[in-house]
Amino acid sequence: MNSFGRAVLAKYGNRLTGVDHVCGPIEWVMATSNNQDTAESSADPSSKRSFWTRLGRALVTFVTAIGPPATVAVAIFALVYTNNATRDQLRLTEQGQITDRFSKAIDQLGQEENNKLAVRLGGIYALEQIMLDSHSTQPTVVDVLCAFVRTHALTAVKLPQQQPVDVQTALTVLGRRPGSDSPGFGTNVSYGILNLGGQTVHLETVQLDQAHLEGVHFESAFLDNASLKGAHLKGAHLVGAVMSGAHLEGADMSGADLDDVYLAGAHLEGADLSTTTGLKVDRLECATTDRWTKLPAGMSLPHTDAECDE
């Protein structure tokens, strides 16, 4: 019998021998085997067998003696043991690999030198792959990338200046994180919560077209001239955000909190703002709309196109 079978008997022996009619034959076979081994050892000391060799022979004798039912039982327990052991080992191996990969990615992300851009990008993409491979890591990866954006975005942007490549890349990864078609995405912490708000967060000119930003926290952030065409901003927290000139064509902003948000000159063609809260008409100066734009009930723009063209 191989190690596989011996392990099964060692682990499940009590279960296999839980009744007298099973326990008795095994004990008898073991005793017989011991007697035979003793005789053999006396005749030839070099032929002494180990305990596990005797146990293996005993199991074979036992299975042969009582026939197919025992063979099936042993095979089933052997399969269960192997599956469980293999699964546990794989889980431990995968966890160790994820931990090592995460540590390496964080180290790459922390390379601040100007000539280390490629290294930082590698760290960002490595974190994205970790999210894809292990859902349980997603909240941590989201938190890390959000912190990276908040601390590495430009403190001020002068048009047509763009955000650093690594900051834009981190935002792109956050905007396509897995699970966007799942209930609770954007509010359920298991998918990560996007915290990108703050008065010192300048995200002007970022490119987030079609990005999944459900439930994002953009409070007081500067998003002037940001491109958010077709972005998913359902339930977004935009209180006090500055979004003048932002491109929000086709964006879904249903349920978003727009209290004190500044949307002067924003492009709202086809955008859905019908169920937003806190939106004030005087904050929409010179914003552009079309017949597909959905504003809250009873609200209309406070200007004519001619006035804004002057």
In the chain, % of residues over pLDDT 70: 65
The reported pLDDT for the residue numbered 9 is 34
The reported pLDDT for the residue numbered 300 is 81
pLDDT band at 199 (very low <50, low <70, confident <90, very high): confident
**Average pLDDT in the 78-91 region?**
64
Is residue 135 located within the same domain as residue 81? no
The reported pLDDT for the residue numbered 304 is 58
Query: Is position 101 within any domain?
Result: no
Is residue 120 located within the same domain as residue 187? yes
User: How do residues 278-295 score in pLDDT, each as one tens digit?
Assistant: 999 999 999 999 999 999
Is residue 54 located within the same domain as residue 175? no
Is residue 120 located within the same domain as residue 47? no
Which one of 29, 56, 88 terminates a domain? 88
The reported pLDDT for the residue numbered 164 is 92
Query: Is position 67 within any domain?
Result: yes
Greater model confidence, 160 or 134: 134
Is residue 176 located within the same domain as residue 277? yes
Query: Is position 68 within any domain?
Result: yes
The reported pLDDT for the residue numbered 198 is 82
Is residue 201 located within the same domain as residue 298? yes
Residues 6+ apart with CB under 8 A from 102: 127, 130, 137, 140
**Average pLDDT in the 103-130 region?**
95
The reported pLDDT for the residue numbered 23 is 43
Tokens of 166: 């690594």
In the chain, % of residues over pLDDT 90: 57
Greater model confidence, 34 or 291: 291
Query: Is position 102 within any domain?
Result: no
Greater model confidence, 139 or 84: 139
Query: Is position 69 within any domain?
Result: yes
Query: Is position 123 within any domain?
Result: yes
Is residue 120 located within the same domain as residue 173? yes
Which one of 88, 122, 138 terminates a domain? 88
State the pTM of this model: 0.70
Is residue 85's pLDDT more than 80?
Answer: no
Query: Is position 96 within any domain?
Result: no
Is residue 207's pLDDT more than 70?
Answer: yes
**Average pLDDT in the 205-224 region?**
96
269: domain range? 111-309
Query: Is position 279 within any domain?
Result: yes
Is residue 158 located within the same domain as residue 259? yes
Which CATH number fits the domain that encloses residue 182? 2.160.20.80
Greater model confidence, 289 or 61: 289
The reported pLDDT for the residue numbered 18 is 39
Is residue 40 located within the same domain as residue 185? no
Per the structure, the count of domains in the chain is 2
Average pLDDT, the chain: 80
Is residue 54 located within the same domain as residue 183? no
Is residue 121 located within the same domain as residue 218? yes
Is residue 180 located within the same domain as residue 127? yes
The reported pLDDT for the residue numbered 13 is 40
